[in-house]
Amino acid sequence: MNRIETVIQDILAKKYFATRIFEGTTVDNGELDEWERSNGYKLPSDYRQFMQSIGRCNLNGIGKFDHDYSVRIMTLAEVQSFSISAFGHQMDEIPESWFAFADAQDGNFIVMDLKSLNDDTVNIIDGCWECARSGPPIIAKSFTEFVEHSLIDSQTSSGWGDVARGIRYWSTPGCYYGDTPTPHGRD
């Protein structure tokens, strides 16, 4: 069993008691293929597998049972250009290959840079609109890694107080890959 299969199995077995699955939101290969044709980019295989098995869900991890502040994996139909999701139109400084696939439900999105897709790796980006303009703040190197961290980190959805302060697993110093600045002005 690979990592995404283990994550899917754990979610379906309700290992993460506060994770909410929205029934009827899974997609089949044909729908995923059509999305790829329509948007001109391939989707990561782990993301495809997740959408076929789980679909839309709120990732609450081990935090409080608080769906209002969880990370929401969007339905495939909701996945669109990050620039359009965040600003309502394509911004020149934001690559067209950035697609919002999750809503942090704090005014920001989680983004896949589909141009970076290479085998099973893809850059997952903090779609904080202020961060997006200053460079790609990479928070995971695969969809699976993002979901795993979101599920095991109690800060991912521990309630409005932590979200209001910008505390998610990826918004603590050292959680960005590479030389991008630390989030929210932290040292």
Res 163: pLDDT: 42
pTM, two decimal places:
0.82
Res 81: pLDDT: 93
Domain boundaries, the chain: 3-174
What is the spatial distance between Cα 105 and Cα 186, in angstroms, rounded to a whole number?
Answer: 21
Domain at 3-174: CATH code? 3.40.1580.10
The percent of residues above 70 in pLDDT, for the chain, comes to: 71
Amino acid at 107: G
- Give mean pLDDT, residues 100-119: 89
Residues in contact with 70: Cβ distance below 8 Å, sequence separation at least 6, in sequence order? 18, 19, 20, 58, 59, 60, 105, 156, 157
- Give mean pLDDT, residues 36-54: 97
Confidence bin at 91 (pLDDT 50/70/90): confident
Amino acid at 33: D
Q: Cα–Cα distances in Å, from 172 out to 105, 114, 132, 175?
A: 18, 25, 17, 6
